Amino acid sequence: MKINIQIIFKKIKCLNFLIEEQDNHELLSLDEIRSFHTKINLSIVNNGILEAKSRLKDALETKRLLDQKTFVLLKGYMLTSIALILALVFFISSKPITLIFISFIISAFFFCFGIVFLLISLKSANYGTLGNYPDCWLQEGIIDGDQDTHSTMLTYILHAYHDKIWQSDDSNIRKSGFLNLGILSGIIAIIPIMVGLTIQIII
């Protein structure tokens, strides 16, 4: 019996970001663009590039905000983990093993899990760039081309933005997914401490 791992990820909502999504949008191929280069409306292409740049800027800004949140959480998790480890060292050296000791171990374990998820979230991913290399233009037949060549090149650039935006969005989805797993680990890590302290107070 074969187990489809993608079906499992789909059923577990917090793991949906691990599934490779397929881009089903219909898009003109470069050959199709080349075939009717004399019919290209330059005004429409320029507007399309402006819209595509704006959309890519949104994706890059989302990346910046996600990384910012991740850095803040990572700093908090690391400081908390160090504090828990120091507390565990104190318990080991001066007191017998108690419920508080066990709860600190469990919490430290989940905070470390959270740190791993946050580090994965910060890991470099593929993002599109707003501009292009000069060698796209500095070629014979392009730099000295006519208006149709200019229109075709701009259409190629608009075509390239599609992949850049899709790639950036996919990276943000994965980045956000690991960030959410890191947050979830932190929430779970707090529970053992709260339970252990509550029982200790009651006892």
What pLDDT score does 65 carry?
95
DSSP code per residue over 128-189: --SS--GGGTSSTTTTT--HHHHHHHHHHHHHHHHHHHHHHHHHHHHHHHHHHHHHHHHHHH
What letter does residue 15 receive in the DSSP assignment? G
Instruction: Render the burial of 148-181: b for 16+ CB within 10 Å, e for the rest.
Output: eeebbbbbebbbbbbebbebbbbbbebbbbbbeb
Neighbours of 185 (CB within 10 A): 21
In this prediction, residue 21 has a pLDDT band, given cuts at 50, 70 and 90, of low
What pLDDT score does 5 carry?
43
Amino acid letter for position 156: Y
What pLDDT score does 120 carry?
93
The tens digit of pLDDT for each residue in 61-71 reads 999 999 999 99
The tens digit of pLDDT for each residue in 84-125 reads 888 888 777 766 667 778 888 889 999 999 999 999 999 878
Which of residues 96 and 52 earns the better pLDDT score?
Answer: 52
Contact 88, 101 (CB under 8 A): yes
In this prediction, residue 49 has a pLDDT band, given cuts at 50, 70 and 90, of very high
